[in-house]
């Protein structure tokens, strides 16, 4: 029997409706619909166009219904930290802000007077950042005091979208774990943090774990879009990276000696742990703690990733040079190593436009050799990313007292064979290339688990092994280079250039 489910996969630039068909312990994915999901700038504030998101998902579901005939369920995964306010009448009180909105900066010092960044980390296990929900909510309460009387519920983005389709209020653990609102030890809402921010615990409800059926799709939506009224809305894995980690063919006993790298616009380097790691080593390294579907932990660091390369491509296209990513990799492979590096997390690389100029300026400021070709420029970026991964792996090993012998790498960046090989080389570790559609895959697997079609870890891994082939990239012989010297040179660049 075929079991069809829908993953609504929302990213910070696009949204997708992906169907999954499970039959005979093998699943197949199919993209049914894709739409743009850019934040909207109005009067210097950034918002998510939730009405467009809702309408586009409905349209995509109608397309999927015609293709599949029968849909059992859907679930939503998104980026972290953002949320919406629901009033006592069940409607949104305000358009949800994007995490890149600048309103928070005005209130940063006020919040730090109440709780210092180190105190926040000690309480929640989450690295302080202006994009985090706790910072955003503090700013919202300062800007709009009337919300105290008007809010009935606060839901994070995936649960808010599921609310639009089910009418059921929910919040899920993996997405809530990105907020800076959970107690680092109990993994429940932190009463201390909520009190400091002026928030009420009842606004968030219970934080669910492990998957939950919210109910059937609202009858009005089923009628409007000619959908099966029995489609179930599932609160599965709300956070896209949490979903991606669930897609790895890795058993629980392998996790302590394995790391993962989500390689895309952002690079997320991390490791699964039984409990949050809230130590001085973790804090000083910039590591943060987020949740997994089973209630365990992801210890990780966010690194500016292929955003830099994407901006270079866009910049060159404006100049009339259309350089495909495959061509970029070839040019970098043919280039000479010139011993220069950038710090991908430097503030100058977080902003759009003039990326090539920013790289050159960084190299000048750090007294490094300048590239003479486009290939050399790209090789600097790719080597710097791989060395950043290596540095974070070392920090993870120190924080957990566990050695890492395997890296699972997934996401669109795994199509960059040079970056994958550099990662294996610099980390001197086997790199297993996971699915490109890792977040979608974790989303649908969580639905099958909630529906009782996946009963244990063996079932999940059997389905993954039956459905996808894994490729292992091994480190090359590095006798021709001095890896210790490269690592030392890269770390000197990091220490000598302040990340704002």
pLDDT over 70 percentage in the chain? 98
Residue 264 pLDDT level (bands cut at 50, 70, 90): confident
Instruction: Spell out where 133-254 has E strands.
Output: 151-156, 171-172, 207-208, 212-216, 232-235
207-208 and 171-172 strand pairing = parallel
Overall size of the chain counted in residues: 500
Instruction: Supply the DSSP symbol for 182.
Output: B
Over range 414-425, report the average pLDDT: 95
Report residue 236: phi and psi, to 5°: -95, -110
Q: Is pLDDT of 441 > 70?
A: yes
Residue 445, pLDDT above cutoff 70: yes
Band of the pLDDT at 499, cuts 50, 70, 90?
very low
Predicted confidence at residue 481, as pLDDT, reads 66
Residue 188 near residue 182, CB atoms below 8 Å: yes
What is the pLDDT confidence band of residue 38, given thresholds at 50, 70 and 90? confident
- Res. 479: pLDDT tops 70: no
**pLDDT beyond 60 at 138:** yes
What is the residue-wise DSSP string for 255-308? Answer: GGGEEEEEESSEEEEEEEESS---SHHHHHHT-EEEE-TTS-EEEEEEEE-THH
Which is higher by pLDDT, 403 or 412?
403
Contact in structure between 287 and 301 (CB atoms under 8 Å): yes
Predicted pLDDT at 246: 96
Model confidence at 350: pLDDT above 90: no
What average pLDDT does this structure show over 87-113?
Answer: 96
Sort 58 into a burial class: Cβ within 10 Å, 0-12 / 13-18 / 19+: middle
Q: CA torsion 179→182→183→189, rounded to 10°?
A: 150
Question: In Å, what is the CA distance from 401 to each residue of 199, 280, 300, 398, 449?
Answer: 37, 14, 15, 5, 32
The answer to whether the beta carbons of residues 235 and 276 sit under 8 Å apart is no
Tens-digit pLDDT profile for residues 53-77: 999 999 999 999 999 989 999 999 9
The chain-wide mean pLDDT, for the chain, equals 94
Any idea which fold 249-434+470-500 has? Nucleotidyltransferase; domain 5 (3.30.420)
pLDDT digits (tens, 9 = 90+) for 207-230: 999 999 999 999 999 999 999 999
Q: What is the average per-residue pLDDT within 270-297?
A: 96
Mean predicted confidence (pLDDT) in 162-169:
98
DSSP class per residue in 464-489: HHHH---EEEPPPP-TTS-HHHHHHH
Running DSSP on this structure, what letter comes out for residue 272? E
Residue 5 has pLDDT above 80, yes or no: yes
Is 240 annotated as catalytic? yes
What SS3 state is found at 82? coil
pLDDT band at 1 (very low <50, low <70, confident <90, very high): confident
Contacts of 495 (CB under 8 A, 6+ apart): none
Which CATH number, 3.30.420.40, 3.40.50.620, 2.40.50.140, 3.40.50.2000, labels domain 3-241?
Answer: 3.30.420.40
144: which DSSP letter?
Answer: -
Specify the DSSP class assigned to residue 97. Answer: B
| Structure tokens belonging to residue 221 | 């939506």
Rounded to an integer, what distance in angstroms lies between the CA atom of residue 3 and that of residue 7? 13
Q: How far does Cα 305 stand from its chain's mean position? A: 12
The pTM assigned to this predicted structure is: 0.92
In terms of Cα–Cα distance, which of 289, 248, 271 is closest to 395? 271
Q: Say what the pLDDT of residue 478 is.
A: 67
pLDDT grade for 498, boundaries at 50, 70 and 90: low
Among the listed residues 195, 240, 274, 281, the single catalytic one is 240
Per the DSSP assignment, residues forming a β-bridge with 4 are 21
For residue 125, what is the DSSP state? S
Predicted local distance difference test score (pLDDT) of residue 500: 44
SS3 447: helix
Alpha helices, DSSP H, located in 167-217: 173-176, 191-197
pLDDT tens-place string over residues 351-372 = 778 999 999 999 999 999 999 9
Domain residues of the chain, as ranges? 3-241, 249-434+470-500
């Amino acid at each position: 029997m075929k079991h069809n489910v829908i993953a609504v996969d929302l990213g910070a630039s696009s949204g997708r409706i992906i169907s999954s068909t499970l039959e005979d312990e093998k699943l197949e994915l199919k993209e049914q619909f894709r739409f743009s999901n850019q934040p909207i700038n109005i009067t210097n504030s950034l918002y998510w166009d939730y009405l467009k998101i809702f309408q586009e998902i409905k349209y995509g579901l109608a397309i999927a219904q015609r293709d599949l005939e029968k849909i059992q369920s859907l679930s939503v995964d998104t980026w972290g930290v953002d949320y919406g306010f629901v009033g006592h009448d069940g409607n949104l009180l305000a358009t949800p802000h994007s995490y890149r909105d600048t309103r928070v900066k005005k209130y940063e010092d006020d919040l730090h007077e109440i709780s210092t960044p180190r105190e926040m980390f000690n309480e929640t296990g989450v690295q302080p950042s202006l994009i985090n929900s706790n910072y955003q909510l503090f700013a919202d309460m300062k800007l709009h005091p009337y919300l105290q009387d008007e809010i009935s519920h606060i839901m994070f983005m995936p649960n808010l979208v599921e609310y639009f389709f089910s009418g059921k209020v929910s919040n899920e653990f993996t997405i809530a774990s990105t907020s800076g609102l959970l107690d680092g030890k109990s993994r429940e809402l932190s009463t201390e943090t909520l009190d400091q921010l002026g928030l009420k615990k009842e606004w968030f409800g219970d934080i669910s774990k492990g998957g939950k059926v919210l109910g059937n799709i609202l009858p009005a939506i089923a009628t409007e879009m000619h959908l099966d009224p029995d489609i179930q809305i599932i609160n599965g894995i709300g956070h896209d990276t949490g979903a991606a980690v669930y897609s790895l063919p890795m058993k629980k006993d392998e996790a302590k000696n394995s790391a993962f790298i989500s390689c895309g616009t952002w690079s997320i380097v991390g490791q699964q742990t039984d409990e949050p790691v809230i130590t001085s080593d973790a804090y000083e390294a910039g590591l943060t703690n987020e949740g997994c579907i089973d209630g365990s932990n992801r210890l990780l660091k966010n690194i500016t990733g292929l955003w830099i390369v994407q901006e270079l491509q866009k910049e060159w296209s404006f100049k009339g040079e259309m350089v495909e990513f495959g061509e970029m990799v070839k040019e970098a492979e043919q280039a000479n190593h010139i011993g220069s590096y950038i710090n991908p997390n430097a503030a100058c690389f977080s902003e759009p436009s003039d990326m090539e100029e920013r790289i050159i300026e960084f190299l000048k400021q750090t007294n490094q050799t300048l590239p003479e070709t486009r290939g050399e420029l790209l090789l600097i970026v790719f080597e710097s990313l791989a060395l950043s991964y290596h540095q974070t792996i070392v920090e993870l090993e120190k924080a957990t007292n566990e050695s890492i012998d395997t890296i699972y790498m997934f996401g669109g960046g795994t199509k960059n064979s040079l970056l994958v090989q550099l990662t294996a080389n610099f980390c001197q570790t086997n790199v297993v290339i996971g699915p490109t559609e890792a977040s979608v895959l974790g989303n649908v697997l969580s639905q099958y688990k909630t529906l009782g079609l996946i009963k244990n870890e063996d079932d999940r891994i059997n389905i993954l092994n039956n459905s996808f082939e894994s490729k292992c990239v091994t480190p090359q012989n590095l006798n021709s280079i001095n890896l210790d010297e490269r690592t030392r040179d890269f770390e000197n660049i990091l220490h000598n250039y302040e990340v704002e």
